[in-house]
Amino acid sequence: MIVIGVTGSFGTGKTFVSKILGSYGADVIDADAAAHVVLRKGTRQYAAVVSRFGERILDGKREIDRNVVARIVFGDVRSLRRLSEIVHPPVIRAIRQCIARAAHNRSRRAVVIDAPLLFETGLDSLADIRIVVTASLRTQVGRCRRKFGLSKKEVLARIHSQMSLGEKAGLADVVIDNNRKRSYTRRQVRELWEILMDKRKDCCCPEGIRKKNRERKRSRG
């Protein structure tokens, strides 16, 4: 079984790429979804976050309103760090457990870790292959404003709170360009999947993946 880490920046389309991989049969572990579970009412993390930020972050059902929390932490480095200290450790443990369960299933060929902070949290150490999904800043802002109803300022605050996309791309084994039509992105992911499913050991290591990608790009001219 191969573990694939997929990351990017806010609005680059990492979840779209993860879903494509899921359609080919990979198990997809969504780090954001794991964080939702961690912050449910009644958990220790829920209590710690409410204690830190106050009841102003609760909605009518006394669940944590993630949009309110986002408006607080993405404008305050110290608050973001404190939130990360509370949430990230249990999320990482949950992801490790999911990978371990998948490893016991011999029919499972691949597991995807879909994580916006793959490198920042050290989750990249769990992956055999690290994919970074890229798009232009203009594309990121446009997508996030349409999808989440955020202002340009709010989108940029979230983008700048993370490691830069250039830094992430420099750490990647594979970079997927998601700045064009979806069909172009799907083709890149399909070709990558074919390489990953190649049984030859030299093709499935990170250097083998990079080599195969270069060969395919040259063949397309």
At 20, the pLDDT band (50, 70, 90 cuts) reads very high
Domain that includes residue 101, residue range: 2-219
> What is the pLDDT at residue 106?
72
pLDDT cut 90: percent of the chain above it? 80
Per-residue pLDDT, 104: 85
Judge whether residue 220 has pLDDT over 90. Answer: no
What DSSP letter does each residue of the chain carry, written as one string? -EEEEEEE-TTS-HHHHHHHHHHTT-EEEEHHHHHHHHTSTTSHHHHHHHHHH-GGGB-TTS-B-HHHHHHHHTT-HHHHHHHHHHHHHHHHHHHHHHHHHHHT-TT--EEEEE-TTTTTTTGGGG-SEEEEEE--HHHHHHHHHHHH---HHHHHHHHHTS--HHHHHHH-SEEEE-SS-HHHHHHHHHHHHHHHT---HHHHSHHHHHHHHHHHHHHT-
Confidence at residue 22, expressed as pLDDT on a 0 to 100 scale: 96
Give 165-198 pLDDT, tens digit per residue.
999 999 999 999 999 999 999 999 999 999 998 8
Q: How many domains does the structure of the chain reveal?
A: 1
Percentage above 70 pLDDT, the chain: 90
> pLDDT (tens digit, 9 = 90+) per residue, 41-78?
999 999 999 999 999 999 999 999 999 999 999 988 99
This prediction's pTM: 0.88
Decide if pLDDT at 83 tops 80. Answer: yes
Q: Which residues pair with 114 in a beta bridge?
A: 6, 30
- Residue-level pLDDT at 200: 46
CATH of the domain at 207: 3.40.50.300
- pLDDT by residue (tens digit) across 99-143? 999 888 777 789 999 999 999 999 999 999 999 999 999 999 999
* pLDDT for res 208: 58
